[in-house]
Structures are given as C-alpha cells and as structure tokens.
C-alpha cells in the first residue's frame, strides 16, 4: 500500500511490555470505546467496570479518590473540580427544597456565601451558629433540619468545634453531619470515626500541597447519598480534569511528610509569637490558653494544624501594610497548605465582605493575620517574623 493512502488510526494499541509503570499514567481521553451495546449495558448496570465519558469518571480521578479514601478511612470518594464543587455537590446531592441546614458561623467565606445567598434561592433554609457551643447548635435545629455543616477548626480564629456533642446531637435528631476537613486534613482528624456522614476536602490545599491544582474530594458513608452526590456532580459538570488529578496524586505522595513537618513548625512559630512584644494575642489549637482546650484534647490531641493566627499590638492598617512589606520571602496570599509559608490578612481578603462591626465581633481587626506554615526551617521562619515585627514598633 502506498504511504499516501494511509490514514491515521485511533487508537494505536500500545505495547508497554511485561514490566509495569510505577507512576499512574495520565488518561486524557474524554470518551472510552466499548465493544458492543451489551457491554455498555453491563458497564452502566454495574456488572463490569469501565469508563464511558470523562465527566462521569476517568482513571486519574479514580486513582486520586482511592488514595484519599485510604486517608479518610472511607469508600467510594468522588473527586470534584474544586473544594467548593465538593461542598456544593455534598449539599445539593443530599438536601431538597424545604430542608433546613445548620452551618458554622465561621466557615470558609464562599461556604458562607453559598449558604446565605444561594441555597435560599433553591428553597433550602439555612441557620448559622457557633459550633463551639452545643446549646446554640441545639437551639438552631428545626423540625426540617437535615444537615449540619462544620469545619472542626474555624477560619481564621482557629476555634475548635464540639465535634462529639454535635455528632451525638445529629444521631439523636437523625440529622446528617457534613465535615469540611480541609484545615485539619485526614492526618490530624478522621471525621468518619468521629461520627460524620459526609466528608469533604479542598484537595487544592494541603493534600495536593503545591498551589498548582484546584480540586476537591467528597465521600458519604451511606451508598445512596454517595450516589446522589455523584449524580449531582456529573450532571452539573463539577467533575475534574485528568491532568489535575494526576498532579494532585503526585502531590499527595508527600502529604504526610509535609503535614507532619509544617504543623510541627507551626507549633514552634505559635510559641515564638506568644513571646514577641509586638504581638497582642496568638491563636493556635494546642496552645494551653486556647478557648476550646477541652475540645482540642478530644479531637486534635496528637496534631494541631499548620495554621497560626495572631494579632499585632498596633492594629492599624498602616502597621499591617508595613508588617507585610517587611516579611521577606513570605507570599502575602490568601491561601493555605502550600509548601511555602503564606500570610493572609482576613480584613482585606477572606472577610472583606463583612462590615467592620461584624469583623470585630469575630475578633478580626486590621492587625489580625493568619499564617499557613510551609516547609521552611523553623529558625529561619522565626527570624523573618522577628525582623518584620521589629519594623512596626
């Protein structure tokens, strides 16, 4: 046959040989070919395993989900295109119009916005309350309450929820408990063992760890809820790209080491900041004066977290600007969980949508900062903070 008449053939069967790749391959294919309509029936009806269309699932999402399932001690987790996609799928996949949701009043800003501005438009009622106070949580419950959403450690004041009280209340009232485990991560806290029915993580943060992918993870203990969350995510296109799943799987390989190191350094930094004369107060879960020390002991006794919040003595915007400028080599960026330490200023970022009085009620002044500790040497980090803090005397 003349070369001219040859055409492309798709796909060319690959012959990788007898040896196996040690790294997950990337599967960018959007579609998967089946041999016959009978085989498709078998796939859709669960008699055989196989992929059909990437929005519904692909091997890189499965590989990543299985890795996180192991960490969360769960089965059948779903990868989504972001942490917010996971939270949205968890809520919309398990609630209907007319249901009521109780959420923590110090959740991640976009979760709060979803609950305040979006869910009510779809007929889902929302109440927000203080998750460190079980009496307040009980008061917020209504006959139509179906779900409670918490983050064990709140943002940015690092208050710790009464997880055992909330889990008991959920059982008593037949309410499902949804835990956003992003701050704590499955290294510090296992929500399923603590009574959660649904767990979400922003994989973007510590799990992937390098600020180069945006992904989420959601899993429900009950198969029917898990299926409903999966169907919502697939129908609304909340599902992820193979490339990002592949990159996140690679990041996840070092997650345990990164977390161990950064939370140990966070403890050191927190202790150091308590001794600096230009710092008014320091918030870190395992510091002895933490307002929720009893809950910390119950749920976070071994590990703390990699976040430290603190307030400058000088609470002016001018001092905040000066401090950030002087903090050399630390990215001033509203994120967390990167390999490098990052600094955020809630008054001008995550909490800028609140009025000054609302911020002050949470203790967020212009002098309030949150640090996400990375992998730097602790002494170097302390020196950098010391130099920047000196500049505001």
Ligand X SMILES: Cc1ncc(COP(=O)(O)O)c(C=O)c1O
- Which residues contact ligand X by CB under 6 A? 82-84, 108, 151, 155, 180, 182-183, 202, 204, 214, 216
* Helix residue ranges, H only, 141-184: 163-173
For Cα atoms 214, 220, 224, give the angle at the middle one, nearest 5 degrees: 125
Between 72 and 151, CB nearer to ligand X: 151
Q: How far is the CB of 208 from ligand X (least distance, A)?
A: 9
Instruction: Please list, in sequence order, all residues whose beta carbon lies within 8 angstroms of the beta carbon of residue 25, skipping any fewer than 6 positions away.
Output: 59
Least separation in angstroms between residue 321's CB and ligand X is: 23
Whole-angstrom distance, CA of residue 225 vs CA of residue 341: 37
Residue nearest to ligand X (CB): 83
Q: Which is nearer to ligand X, 82 or 239 (CB)?
A: 82
CB nearer ligand X, residue 151 or residue 249: 151
Shortest distance (Å) from residue 45 CB to ligand X: 33
Q: Which is nearer to ligand X, 182 or 299 (CB)?
A: 182
42 beta partners: none
Least separation in angstroms between residue 102's CB and ligand X is 17
Nearer to ligand X, 214 or 306 (CB): 214
* Strands, sheet with 279-283, edge to edge from the N-terminal-most edge strand: 279-283, 307-312, 368-372, 342-344, 331-332
127 by DSSP, 3-state: which?
A: strand
How many beta carbons lie within 10 A of that of residue 343, not counting itself? Answer: 18
Would you say 204 or 365 has its CB closer to ligand X? 204
Distances (CA, A) of 302 to 188, 267, 268, 297: 7, 12, 15, 8
Least separation in angstroms between CB 148 and ligand X = 16
Q: Give min distance, CB of 336 to ligand X, in A.
A: 6
State which residue, 208 or 279, has the beta carbon closest to ligand X: 208
* Secondary structure E strands in the chain: 78-80, 100-104, 125-129, 145-151, 176-180, 198-202, 216-220, 279-283, 307-312, 331-332, 342-344, 368-372
Minimum CB–partner distance for residue 155 and ligand X (Å): 6
């Amino acid at each position: 046959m003349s070369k001219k008449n040859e055409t492309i053939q798709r796909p060319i069967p690959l012959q990788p040989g007898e040896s196996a790749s040690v790294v997950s391959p990337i599967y960018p294919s959007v579609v998967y070919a089946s041999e016959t309509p009978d085989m498709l029936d078998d796939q859709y009806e669960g008699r055989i395993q196989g992929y059909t269309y990437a929005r519904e699932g692909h091997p890189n999402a499965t590989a990543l989900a299985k890795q996180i399932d192991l960490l969360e001690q769960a089965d059948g987790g779903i990868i989504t295109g972001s942490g917010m996609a996971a939270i949205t799928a968890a809520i919309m996949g398990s609630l209907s119009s007319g249901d009521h949701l109780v959420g923590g009043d110090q959740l991640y800003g976009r979760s709060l916005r979803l609950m305040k501005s979006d869910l009510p438009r779809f007929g889902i009622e929302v109440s927000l309350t203080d998750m460190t106070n079980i009496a307040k949580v009980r008061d917020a419950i209504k006959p139509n309450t179906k779900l409670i959403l918490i983050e064990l450690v709140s943002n940015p004041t690092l208050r710790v929820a009464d997880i055992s009280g909330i889990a008991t209340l959920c059982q008593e009232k037949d309410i499902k408990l949804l835990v956003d485990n992003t701050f704590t991560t499955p290294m510090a806290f296992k929500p399923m063992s603590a009574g959660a029915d649904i767990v979400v993580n922003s994989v973007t943060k510590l799990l992937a760890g390098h600020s180069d992918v945006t992904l989420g993870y959601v899993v429900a203990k009950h198969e029917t809820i898990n299926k409903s969350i999966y169907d919502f995510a697939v129908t609304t296109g909340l599902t992820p790209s193979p490339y990002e799943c592949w990159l996140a799987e690679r990041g996840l390989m070092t997650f345990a080491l990164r977390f161990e190191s950064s939370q140990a350094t966070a403890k050191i930094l927190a202790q150091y900041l308590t001794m600096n004369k230009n710092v008014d107060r320091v918030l870190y879960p395992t510091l002895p004066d933490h307002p929720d020390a009893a809950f910390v002991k119950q749920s976070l006794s071994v590990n703390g977290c990699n976040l430290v919040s603190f307030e400058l003595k000088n609470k002016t915007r001018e001092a905040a600007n000066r401090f950030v400028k002087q903090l050399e080599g630390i990215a001033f960026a509203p994120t967390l969980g990167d390999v490098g330490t990052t600094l955020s200023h809630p008054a001008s970022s995550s909490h800028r949508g609140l009025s000054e009085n609302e911020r002050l009620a949470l203790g967020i002044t212009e002098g309030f900062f949150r640090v996400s500790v990375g992998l730097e040497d602790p002494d170097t980090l302390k020196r950098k903070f010391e130099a920047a803090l000196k500049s505001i005397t």
